[in-house]
Structure 1
Amino acid sequence: MTVSAHEATSQTKSMGEQAREYFAFDDQRDYDDVGRGLIAELPDGGRITDRDGRVVWDLAELRQSVKSDAPDTVHPSLWRQSQLITVGGLFEVVPGIYQVRNHDIANVTFVETADSVVLIDAGQGIRNSEVARDLYFAHRPRKPIAAIIYTHTHGDHFGGALAFASREDVATGKVAVIAPGLDFDRLALGENVLAGNVMARRAQYFFGELLPTGERGFVSCGIGTAITPAAIGYIAPTDLITETGTRRTFGGITFEFQYTPDTEAPEEMHIWIPEYRALTCAENANHSLHNIQTLRGARTRDASKFAHYLDEALERYGDEAEVHFGPHTWPVWGNAHVREFLESQRDAYKYIYDQALRLANHGYRPIEIAERITFPESLDKAWWNRGYHGTLSHDLKAVFHKELGWFNGNPATLYPHPEKVSAPRYVEAMGGAAAVIDLARTACGDGDYRWAVQLLDHVVTAEPDNAEAKNLQADAYEQLGYQAEGPQWRNAFLTAALELREGARRDVPTAAAGLDMVMGMPIDLLFDYAAIRLNGPAAVEHSARFALNITDLDGPHSFQVRNGVLHYWPKELATPDATITLDHQGLVAIVFQPSTFDKLLASDQITVDGDVEKLRSVLRLFDEFDPQFNIVTPID
């Protein structure tokens, strides 16, 4: 597969040269820190396969691709970060705290106590986390795992938990699972399942899952190496933290929690370990600027709360902390360095929030705000504030969205035609497709790739078979990708070029939630997932009520389809059309994949007392989502 057929243009090369002059590339502190405490490298050079022999991780390939000096097709700052982020293995943070890094997109941290190990975050892929577990125990005492702590509600921090404990271990109290907030299950699983199809497809763009590794393709995720296609699981928490200052003690080691909701995740917390003078601010502090609004899609975050809780962490722990370690990137050592790091990150998020709202109050719109604001040099040149995950541009727009909503205030944008209607009209108004292509070709020649992409978007939407427009837009996207410092922007632009040249890839699965994750959903959330898959217009003429006897869960349970809407209730129905008897796994199976119903019915895994045809008719109303829908070319 050829993704990038062209060299960097003179304009792109010039941008790279300006970056080399601007940034302090002679600052080697991160290069010293990233390898500090290395005990053992990842086995097999960082190549991980699942039980079927499928490669789910290949750090060696990525490390090899970023060994040389920065090429013209990668922003020099991103190249530097990609070199740093590919250093993987088992590391000693301080005696008693160990991390396995870059075996997965997120780190796994092992905290040793007198008689046990406490895990902070569990990684994303079960298979990847098994490798982390085995590497740690190959070099450290084999103590039992007493607890798994999830710092927040994102799948790359809980998805590997089944590598470290079974659901039975947790149910019997052998292993505690500690997490922030009262609604962790709903927030963790809801985000990854209810909008899972669209988020997984968009993630393919922004995390470069479809790109080949190399200087004209994928070089890193910025705060991690890559997304793993390994299976993801879930174990529900048993111990929920909702107040700052709450403590738990294991084997003489204290874990004090700072509750930080509505920051990088809806539920998140920092952890202070006084015996080790060690602090983690979870994903609220990284060697990168973070997202206020993720490009893959998630709830918009609150930049002011990032700043507030980092400031609170400095007040509570800043005088004592000798190391800061995180679930991404590498630690920071020494009290002065820890304070410098946290203060700089705090100020970056406060600056974003304050300046976005300052200009909004002047009447500026999101795009105008993003074009007008730059960081002061003291923040801008700090490597840990560079846009390797979030970018200043889209974070400023996200503050506007968080505080003022999607509408930018201009009535012209309140009720526009959809693109498939407006695009042909724009093309006609500009003199036809050939004229627009000529304008775009001139823009490309001038190095104005942003304008070329905007012009050509109208042609590609109006005439999706126009090969000349698609190829020229792919060329413009390619140069934007080469110029991007943020890897998510780079990956999106290069993947857009790929889709324009080759079409949407139907042969590559997305990382949407699987059965292991859906099994962890509370029943009401499971039915929320069912409800968003119900084709409302097709369901309007159907009315049905069902009682559920879930044999391995307490009841009662029931659901109804009426007026194109599915409702679930934890109650009995007086006159259901049918009573369905099945176990929890069977319920998950038919919600996840309704086409399995007849097979489960024939095998007596499901029994139906009543109108089975009415149930079948309802199950036929559930949409099957296309996991590879078009993004830069129109959907039919």
Structure 2
Amino acid sequence: MSNSPINRRDALLASAGILATAAAPASVSAQAPQSSPSPVGGSTILKSQSLAPLMGAPVQLGKAENGAIVNQAALDAHAKTFPPRRETIKVADNIWVMQTPSVGSAFIVGTDGVIVWETGDNLEDGKIYREEIRKVTDKPIKAVLYSHSHEVLGTAPLLEGEKDVLIIGHPNLNANLQTSGVGAYFPETEPLQWARVYQYFNAFLPNEGPDGKWGLTVELGARGFVPVNHPVKHGEEMTIAGIRFQFFTEGSTDSSDTMLVWMPDQKVALNNVLWPYAPNIYTPRGSLWRDPRAWRDATRVLRDLQPEMLIGQPTLTLKGKDAIFAHLNNYLDFSNLMLDQTLRGILKGLGPEDLIDFVQLPDHLRNDPYLAEIYGLFAWYPPYIAEYALGWWDGDAATLFRLPRKEVALRLVPALGGRDKVIALAKEAQQNKEYAWALELVGYLWRLDPGDTELRQLKADLLRTAAQHTTSMIARPVSLTAALALEGKAKVPRLVPPTLEQVKSFGPGEFVDRHRVRIDPVKAKDTDAMIRFEFTDADNKAVALHVRRGVVEYVPDAGRYYRKPDFTLALTREGWTKLYLNQATVAQLADRNELKVVGDAAACDRVLDLFDKFEPEKNTLVPASGVGRL
């Protein structure tokens, strides 16, 4: 079969009894009615930056310094906007940028003190930043400025020995940092989201070699967050150490606590708006809704200041008013285009999956280095926007009755000729460099028998090739991690549970409430039991879980509930954490005097056994520490 993707598509259409639609004329008469896009011909797959590298388009592979095999286009784009190494650079008479390829910081020396922007991803970053500052000046640190809630975890060691420091940030920041930082719609999903975060920040990949780490590699560690003590209003002005600052909080990027810092006398902006790649509107870990309009608004505020120097996170420092203005205009246009063209596609009758290759960038945006497709994939964004706007239904009445994918696989695999034929089709697609289609075919068999040894290796091979061909710094490590896990070379957690620090940072009932989603309704179908939890380290606040025939009701005020408890546990949040993480039973904690129980401890444990457990042998129990750019 021909290796030409265009000829192959025509052949596929012909074999299906469908003729490819002829190319549309260059112009259409104003009187002639315009038809909707054809559902078969005229595919834009080969124009899609996201999909073309995995569907037969020519790809040149390259090697990073550590030997990692990466799409050369991604390596080239990365070099244009990312700092090459950790170093401190003087960018103005009183401003130094402390940059790395994954996180950035800066400090400004004023008349009688230092102002620090960003504190890093962990305690080690904060220590390094302090050392770098002390190489330049011994003036005290007067203020810390947070651009948003991600790079704020090195503050404690940075400020060691300092007094009366202003911690300036968005009014939402402290509340957002109370959670683990992954931005969950439903906090109950955070253990799964953290497992995904570890994957796409290269945590399970080797340091060197073809499968080596590449892209944003964040070292997760202990948190040193110091809360904001001066939340600012949009447009608020302050003078700190003789330096004038203005702060802007309208619009947002990857979190709802974005703060833009403006130094009007020097025309310098410090920002988390212009990233070294396109705005990442959707992230596969499953974050809170990222509204393209909010990113657009934040970009507009920054653009209209017309800065002459732009210090970013974690980009190279940009200088030159005209160049900065042009990049910010393009950035704003990208957000508008992604939203508006998605909505246009919806109005044309396209559903979420139809939109995957519908939105295409014009050349001037495609060629802007700050809009390179090297983090998220553009193909992810339109379906995400469409599902947020209208939900999953694509408008075809037939899909109101769609089957679960395993049921589809049960019927489709025999229709395609059985297991061996599907394997052969997948290998044929692999030969034709249609790796995305090969993975789709493998997926049908995977749903039926994930233990199939030959299938596991084929899937691993395809995922490794996909990782090497994609330009995405998220898709690459996730795909490689999955490949290594299939080959038994990496142990990847399905869930990353919270730490005691996180549990204790919330009100005493928060994680009791979260526990309700782990009930097994089949095991609990005949159970009616209520467990009351009295937290001795929180003024004996009493909450409860009422297991009621397969359903759990969380009771925020156990003393006012309509029925009496069957069991009462008096314990600390540390004791509850041990129960929550299945590190001990009620009976064991009672024997160790770590809780007091009213009722039969063994019977209470039998009720708690109706809930799914965190299983250490299946989950690498890595602390859900703070992380950088998400």
User: Under a length normalisation based on structure 1, what TM-score does the superposition of the two structures give?
Assistant: 0.76
Query: For 1:32-71, what aligned pairs fall within 5 Å after superposition?
Result: 64-65=65-66
Letter in 2 for 1:178: G
1:125 aligns with 2:153: no
Letter in 1 for 2:169: I
Q: In structure 2, how many angstroms separate the alpha carbons of the residues matched to 1:524 and 1:262? A: 31
Which of 190, 210, 217 in structure 1 is aligned with 2:204? 210
1:200 aligns with 2:194: yes
Query: For 1:271-282, what aligned pairs fall within 5 Å after superposition?
Result: 271-282=261-272
Which sits farther off after the overlay, 326-335 or 561-570? Answer: 561-570
Q: Which residue of 1 aligns with 2:72?
A: 76
- Point out the structure with the larger helix share: 1
Structure 2: any 5+ residue segments left out of the alignment?
1-52, 620-630
Q: Which residue of 1 aligns with 2:59?
A: 16
Q: In structure 2, how many angstroms separate the alpha carbons of the residues matched to 1:239 and 1:141? A: 25
After superposition, the Cα gap between the structure-2 partners of 1:414 and 1:249, relative to the gap in structure 1 and judged at 3 Å, is: farther
Q: Which residue of 2 aligns with 1:191?
A: 183
Q: In structure 1, how many angstroms separate the alpha carbons of the residues matched to 2:475 and 2:195? A: 15
| 1:335-379 deviations in Å (ceiling 9; x for gaps) | 222212211211111111111111111011233323132211100
Q: What is the CA-CA distance between 1:88 and the residue it aligns to? A: 1.3
Letter in 2 for 1:211: L
Residue pair 2:71, 2:470 contacting (<8 A) in 1 also = yes
Q: What is the CA-CA distance between 1:269 and the residue it aligns to? A: 2.5
Q: Which residue of 1 aligns with 2:153?
A: 159
Residue pair 2:55, 2:437 contacting (<8 A) in 1 also = no
Q: Which residue of 2 aligns with 1:102?
A: 100
Q: Secondary structure at the match of 1:543?
A: strand
| 1:481-527 deviations in Å (ceiling 9; x for gaps) | 22211122222333333333x14833779766433344333445444
Residue pair 1:356, 1:400 contacting (<8 A) in 2 also = yes
Q: In structure 1, how many angstroms separate the alpha carbons of the residues matched to 2:94 and 2:522? A: 59
Q: Secondary structure at the match of 2:58?
A: helix
Q: Which residue of 2 aligns with 1:88?
A: 86
| 1:567-624 deviations in Å (ceiling 9; x for gaps) | 2526745855566544554455544555276665455454446665565445444433
Which of 569, 589, 592 in structure 1 is aligned with 2:556? 569
Residue pair 2:170, 2:249 contacting (<8 A) in 1 also = no
Q: Secondary structure at the match of 1:378?
A: helix
Q: In structure 2, how many angstroms separate the alpha carbons of the residues matched to 1:465 and 1:416? A: 26
Letter in 2 for 1:456: V
Q: Which residue of 1 aligns with 2:379?
A: 393
Q: In structure 1, how many angstroms separate the alpha carbons of the residues matched to 2:575 and 2:164? A: 26
Count of aligned positions: 557
| 1:179-237 deviations in Å (ceiling 9; x for gaps) | 3328434566573763232113323443333223456324523xx3x031423455444
Q: Secondary structure at the match of 2:281?
A: coil
After superposition, the Cα gap between the structure-2 partners of 1:508 and 1:570, relative to the gap in structure 1 and judged at 3 Å, is: closer
Query: For 1:503-514, what aligned pairs fall within 5 Å after superposition?
Result: 503=488, 505-506=490-491, 513-514=498-499
After superposition, the Cα gap between the structure-2 partners of 1:202 and 1:415, relative to the gap in structure 1 and judged at 3 Å, is: farther
Q: In structure 2, how many angstroms separate the alpha carbons of the residues matched to 1:618 and 1:510? A: 23
Q: What is the CA-CA distance between 1:301 and the residue it aligns to? A: 0.9
| 1:400-420 deviations in Å (ceiling 9; x for gaps) | 122222333334444433333
For the aligned residue pairs, the C-alpha RMSD in angstroms reads: 3.7
Q: Which residue of 1 aligns with 2:291?
A: 302
Q: Secondary structure at the match of 1:203?
A: helix
Identity of aligned residues (%): 21
| 1:538-584 deviations in Å (ceiling 9; x for gaps) | 45624225252443x45644233243324252674585556654455
Which sits farther off after the overlay, 382-391 or 491-500? Answer: 491-500
Residue pair 2:250, 2:297 contacting (<8 A) in 1 also = no
Q: In structure 1, how many angstroms separate the alpha carbons of the residues matched to 2:485 and 2:492? A: 13
Q: Which residue of 2 aligns with 1:291?
A: 280
After superposition, the Cα gap between the structure-2 partners of 1:457 and 1:365, relative to the gap in structure 1 and judged at 3 Å, is: same
Residue pair 1:186, 1:525 contacting (<8 A) in 2 also = no
Q: Secondary structure at the match of 2:246?
A: strand
Q: In structure 1, how many angstroms separate the alpha carbons of the residues matched to 2:93 and 2:139? A: 16
Q: Which residue of 2 aligns with 1:28?
A: none
Q: In structure 2, how many angstroms separate the alpha carbons of the residues matched to 1:602 and 1:492? A: 44
After superposition, the Cα gap between the structure-2 partners of 1:251 and 1:345, relative to the gap in structure 1 and judged at 3 Å, is: same
Q: Secondary structure at the match of 1:195?
A: helix
Structure 1: any 5+ residue segments left out of the alignment?
1-9, 21-61, 631-636
Residue pair 2:244, 2:265 contacting (<8 A) in 1 also = yes
Residue pair 1:548, 1:580 contacting (<8 A) in 2 also = yes
Q: In structure 2, how many angstroms separate the alpha carbons of the residues matched to 1:599 and 1:142? A: 54
1:595 aligns with 2:584: yes
After superposition, the Cα gap between the structure-2 partners of 1:427 and 1:508, relative to the gap in structure 1 and judged at 3 Å, is: closer
Q: Secondary structure at the match of 1:561?
A: strand
Q: Which residue of 1 aligns with 2:393?
A: 407
Letter in 2 for 1:359: G
Q: In structure 2, how many angstroms separate the alpha carbons of the residues matched to 1:362 and 1:440? A: 33
Which sits farther off after the overlay, 434-443 or 183-192? Answer: 183-192
